[in-house]
Amino acid sequence: MAPDPAVRARLVEAAYACVARYGMGKTTVEDIGREAGVSRATAYRYFPGGREELLDAAVTHGVAQFFLRLYEQIHDAPSLEQVMERGILFAHRAIVEHEVLRRIMETDPELLLPQLTVEGHQVRASIAAFLLPYLRAHGVAPGVDELEAADFLARMTMSYMTSPGRWDLDDPAQVSELVRTELLAGIVVGPEPSGSDPARP
């Protein structure tokens, strides 16, 4: 029997749902099969790597969903500032409200931490690749390397996402200030900084 893409998709979504419910450590192939309405044997036929391959697929699915929704938020942004502001506001809300992420953070933080930190290079590369076209479209300051700028923005964005520190990322005014100062000041061609000193009494 030829593999059915719909069954595969159902299994991935079932794996994702199980992780949300039981956490990563406790999700079994049986759980996923039951959730998807297929037998354990069928689950293994589609995912010969079993549990690990299913969980990997679930994570990839979650990340893809995230970037898809992110793209919907920012694809029509008129400026690089808007791309960053909308992106950070959305991503912060998405992370805070993300049921599966929250569940994993509660039950298996040790599984998630490396994803965001030492193994974060994949996430970082995805964010950088996502931002690069916007940097190209909007232009960067003379002497700034687009790839380096994209990498720097991706690193900083991940830092604010994992630890907001002193920033309230629910506040659009603060996010706007963050983008203007710590993210884009060296990257975009801004208005010439005034050499004069207007405010001195």
List contacts with other proteins (CB under 8 A).
105, 109-110, 113-114, 116-118, 120-121, 124, 143-144, 148-149, 151-152, 155-156, 158-160, 162-166, 180-183, 185-187, 190, 193-200
Six-digit token pair at 134? 């916007």
The smaller minimum CB distance to other proteins, of residues 78 and 194, is found at: 194
Q: Which is nearer to other proteins, 5 or 143 (CB)?
A: 143
Q: How far is the CB of 41 from other proteins (least distance, A)?
A: 35
- Taking the complex as a whole, the smallest distance from the CB of residue 6 to other proteins amounts, in Å, to 37
The length of the chain in residues reads 201
Distances (CA, A) of 184 to 67, 92, 159: 21, 18, 15
Q: Tokens at residue 181, please?
A: 């100062």
Q: How far is the CB of 71 from other proteins (least distance, A)?
A: 23
Smallest distance from other proteins to CB 142, Å: 11
Handedness of CA 115, 51, 60, 26 (dihedral sign): negative
Structure tokens at 34: 């039951």
Which DSSP state fits 191? P
Buried b / exposed e over 131-145, threshold 16 CB at 10 Å, is bbebbeebebeeeee
Q: How far apart are CB 72 and other proteins at their closest, in Å?
A: 27
Nearer to other proteins, 82 or 162 (CB): 162
The two three-digit tokens of residue 136, written as one number = 């190209």
Residue recorded with tokens 């759980």: 31
Looking at the Cβ atoms of 1 and 173, the one nearer to other proteins is 173
Q: Which is nearer to other proteins, 19 or 104 (CB)?
A: 104
Tell me the closest approach of the beta carbon of residue 61 to other proteins, in angstroms: 23
The position carrying tokens 């029997």 is: 1
Nearer to other proteins, 31 or 85 (CB): 85
Distance CA 11, CA 4 (A): 11
